Structure 1
Amino acid sequence: MLRKLLFRQAPRAYRFLSTQSTLPLLSKCSVFSYCSSSRPEIPPSNSIEHLEDQPTNTISIDRSGLCSPPEHSHEPSSDSELVKHLKGIIKFRGGPISVAEYMEEVLTNPKAGFYINRDVFGAEGDFITSPEVSQMFGEMVGVWAMCLWEQMGQPKRVNLVELGPGRGTLMADLLRGASKFKNFTESLHIHMVECSPALQKLQHQSLKCMDEENTSEGVDKRSLSTLAGTPVSWHATLEQVPFGLPTIIIAHEFYDALPVHQFQRGSRGWCEKMIDVTEDSSFHFVLSPQPTPATLYLMKRCKWAVPKEVEKLNQIEVCPKAMDLTSTLAKRIGVDGGGALIIDYGLNGVVSDSLQAIRKHKFVNILDNPGSADLSAYVDFASIKHSAEEASDDVSVHGPVTQSQFLGSLGINFRVEALLQNCTDEQAEALRTGYWRLVGDGEAPFWEGPEEQVPIGMGTRYMAMAIVNKKQGIPIPFQ
């Protein structure tokens, strides 16, 4: 399958509370039942527990009984710096870490994170993203942004924000495609939310930026994309993007790399899956014997779900950072105007067990050599919708629709036909292949090359959702 594609930078880390933290939790619900008093391996369970509202109590989160760190050894270690760091966290806390914390360290550790100091995109990297497949993807996203700008009343100044821009290919194609529409491009100030220095440099090159030194004190250096004469700024987090202007936000394959918490149904309720160190110094999964802070998000997610949807599951993934990020987006859009476009692979419902690791286009064990493979999980689009609607009464949520429907409604069919009119045979083959990968479903029927290189369509695997200010009406193509 084409899960060889994508995954993006997570923003700031979601940190666990300390070993003896206290927090208000709903005490009598079965979700807070202890799974075991010792360090259990993950067992299957057919028991059904129900989540209900209960009075609030304060309980202690104690992980000390979960870990028995191996004795100190004087033997030389071949562990990488990131592995040593992860084991150090577990040893220091006297207990395991959550899957989410492991995921964020693996992806965004400042020294050894998967995304931080390398280019992981494209055929030579670990996965291929939609913008890398074809220029048409960025062009269609640009059409969407321009249509939204028109629905906003064509404001003279707009923030165009991309979360986790990778190499900057999507934004570069967007600007090239929109460069003839001067009123639109002249209104833009582009903000790239990216914390990887290596990727920031690649984005700077892709957008063909020129830096202008300001002589005024206290004024940051200004970059200008020569693709459309548009100012560009870089930020480590979304919060650093200035408020007060209408904002168009693009989150393409960004949510799938946000850290997820995994829960397993046990004999006494839902227990969080954690990562610990075995006696032979390798990583393995255990279940928390007590409620964890992320259980609050599990409770919220289960309240949003249809009861039957939860009853049939033995595992559930929740992504607190996705819920919180969506709330932030919705509040900003509700106040400043604008909208957000989210495109990713996922489900329009509760996600069970989707976390996976990819190294050099192949699936590997997520605990194998952390930091050498990308980690990602399915996006829970239903959770995004509920988070946005709860955060602001001034926004509306549309979709999800399949990527094939989204791109088709924006005119990708006409675009590929136009490009095919004036290209070489080699270019035509690349266009057809890219088009199929973006909108097709399964293996391309026209392929005559090597079987192992057959294009796989992701048109139905990926979905698109929009969050917009209600004053602007229903965005294209969700009408």
Structure 2
Amino acid sequence: MLRRALLQASTRGLFSSSPLSLASLRQCSSSSSSHNSQISNDHFVEHLDDTPQPPATATISIDRSSLYHPPEHSHESSADSELVKHLKNIIKFRGGPITVAEYMEEVLTNPKDGFYMNRDVFGAGGDFITSPEVSQMFGEMVGIWAMCLWEQMGQPKRVNLVELGPGRGTLLADLLRGASKIKNFTESLEIHMVEVSPALQKLQYQNLKCVTEDGGDGNANKRCVSTLAGTPVSWHATLEQVPTGLPTIIIAHEFYDALPVHQFQKASRGWSEKMVDLTENSSFRFVLSPQPTPASLYLMKRCKWAETEELAKVSHIEVCPKAIDLTQEIANRIGIDGGGALVIDYGLNGIVSDSLQAIRKHKFVDILDNPGSADLSAYVDFAAIKHSAEEVSEDVSVHGPMTQSQFLGSLGINFRVEALLEKCNEEQAESLRTGYWRLVGDGEAPFWEGPDEQAPVGMGTRYLAMSIVNKKQGVPVPF
């Protein structure tokens, strides 16, 4: 994931559709889609015991001078963090190793010491930067996608807009600002944030400029409203908690990559699950399970979806049961209530081999080094998402994946960047150019004239976009 700072350019106003004219940006836009969608997004582009004792009746004297005197107990803190102690205790209590998925889940979402739970991990001062933090244009383009889908649904009067793992809330904030003049759309929205981190919930509340209103009957009817567009906002720990019965638009941007994966390695006895165990000196290490594990059922499912030639090429496979289960929950909901889901993440349209990585302060580190101090993520298996959705519901269709560059280009990001450049100073213009390249470019920006180590690197081809929609709504823009 790319880790960069937020842009400060203005985010208000309708989306412009004037052609891109800067020579440097023409070079950049070669990585984005060459065919901007003109189906239904044109007007959108424009517009967390002292019991007493009896007296002694006899006295006995004992010589203790030769007895062993243990050293006094030390109250100094151990070198291990609380999370490390917790992980080691789990392994010792079980008398054996834990799965990589269990390790990953504890590291990221342990209620007390998980990486995401009690701090802001995003932005230049955090551990990584996501696309919404790179440029306001990302949230605006996702907003255009959501408005187009809403239009294809027949412009319903009430819609659930759900974001899974909203980070700071930047994406939805930019979406609401950009769509604020499309009143029919914003007035239909009921926003649901699926977020487990109390710290991030507070940031989302602030960035969506929320206020808590009294419904007139005391605390029971208080509700939260984003003043960006007057839309009600609520928070949930899981997607299951989001009310059903309304058409639903779901956004999952860089959410799937944080779901815990099980890793399997081809050994002499067949596929064996990789586990996390302790060495004799109580440090973490990887081992292979000597027998099949429960996750082997998901491995078998994934192998059935793969071609024989694809399986023959890999000696490691990552499977994500939570991704499969979540996708099927999404597909069921969309199949019944209508709507659609947008998944944007870095990954592959096929089997993922050995991609789990740890990032601390924008640098890759060892996965087992000081757990809880670094983000853990893995490539998303987009082919598994597609198969999972299609397997569970006949009422949905899956579209994509396409590259992020194609997705944003087709929604009009080229036109939007010029509209913003016309209204900003030179410093803001430089941020827009580099932000644009990071979103749609491939590799280092050809126009960069600063220090090589600071050159913006494009994520346009490394990130993929996929959509799951109710079949009744047709093919979603821009797929």
TM category (shorter chain) comes to 0.7 to 0.9
Is 1:452 the counterpart of 2:453 in the alignment? yes
Partner of 1:337: 338
SS in 2 for 1:272: strand
Partner of 2:31: none
Partner of 1:174: 175
Partner of 1:402: 403
SS in 2 for 1:175: helix
Partner amino acid, structure 1, of 2:300: M
Cα displacement string for residues 394-450 of structure 1 (whole angstroms, at most 9, x for unaligned residues) = 000000000000000000000001111111011110000000000000000001111
Give the superposition deviation at 1:268: 1.0
Name the TM-score, length of structure 1 as normaliser. Answer: 0.84
Measured in 2, the distance between the counterparts of 1:5 and 1:327 equals 33
SS in 2 for 1:219: helix
Cα displacement string for residues 334-386 of structure 1 (whole angstroms, at most 9, x for unaligned residues) = 00000000000000000000000000000000000000000000000000000
Partner of 2:226: 225
Name the TM-score, length of structure 2 as normaliser. Answer: 0.84
Partner of 2:247: 246
SS in 2 for 1:224: strand
Partner of 2:392: 391
Partner amino acid, structure 2, of 1:187: S
Cα displacement string for residues 62-108 of structure 1 (whole angstroms, at most 9, x for unaligned residues) = xxxxxxxxxxxx99731100000001111111110000000000000
Superposed counterparts of 1:409-424, under 5 Å: 409-424=410-425
Give the superposition deviation at 1:218: 8.0
Q: Tell me, which stretches of 5 or more residues in structure 1 are unaligned? A: 7-73
Partner amino acid, structure 1, of 2:184: N
SS in 2 for 1:131: helix
Q: Tell me, which stretches of 5 or more residues in structure 2 are unaligned? A: 6-72
Does the 8 Å CA contact 2:4/2:124 hold for their aligned counterparts?
Answer: no
Decide whether aligned partners of structure 1 residues 260 and 3 sit closer, same or farther in structure 2, where only a CA change above 3 A counts. Answer: farther
Partner of 2:294: 293
Measured in 1, the distance between the counterparts of 2:289 and 2:450 equals 50
Measured in 2, the distance between the counterparts of 1:208 and 1:225 equals 6
Give the superposition deviation at 1:312: 1.5
Partner amino acid, structure 1, of 2:433: R
Partner of 2:281: 280
Partner amino acid, structure 2, of 1:473: G
Measured in 2, the distance between the counterparts of 1:220 and 1:368 equals 46
Partner amino acid, structure 1, of 2:340: G
Partner amino acid, structure 1, of 2:112: K
Measured in 2, the distance between the counterparts of 1:406 and 1:333 equals 22
Partner amino acid, structure 1, of 2:172: M
Number of equivalences: 410
Partner amino acid, structure 2, of 1:83: V
List 4+ stretches of structure 1 deviating above 2 A.
Answer: 2-6, 74-77, 213-221
SS in 1 for 2:116: coil
Measured in 2, the distance between the counterparts of 1:5 and 1:292 equals 40
Does the 8 Å CA contact 1:165/1:194 hold for their aligned counterparts?
Answer: yes
Give the superposition deviation at 1:3: 5.0
Give the superposition deviation at 1:178: 0.2
Partner of 1:110: 111
SS in 1 for 2:220: coil
Supply the RMSD in Å over aligned alpha carbons: 1.3
Partner of 1:52: none
Shifted more, 307-316 versus 254-263: the winner is 307-316
Measured in 2, the distance between the counterparts of 1:126 and 1:5 equals 10
Partner of 1:431: 432
Does the 8 Å CA contact 2:331/2:468 hold for their aligned counterparts?
Answer: yes
Does the 8 Å CA contact 1:4/1:362 hold for their aligned counterparts?
Answer: no
Which one has a bigger Cα radius of gyration?
A: 2
Partner of 2:156: 155
Measured in 2, the distance between the counterparts of 1:175 and 1:342 equals 19
Partner of 1:82: 83
Partner of 1:371: 372
Does the 8 Å CA contact 2:2/2:130 hold for their aligned counterparts?
Answer: no
Partner of 1:468: 469
Does the 8 Å CA contact 2:3/2:124 hold for their aligned counterparts?
Answer: no
Partner amino acid, structure 1, of 2:245: G
Measured in 1, the distance between the counterparts of 2:321 and 2:190 equals 30
Measured in 2, the distance between the counterparts of 1:188 and 1:291 equals 47
Does the 8 Å CA contact 1:156/1:187 hold for their aligned counterparts?
Answer: yes
Give the superposition deviation at 1:220: 5.0
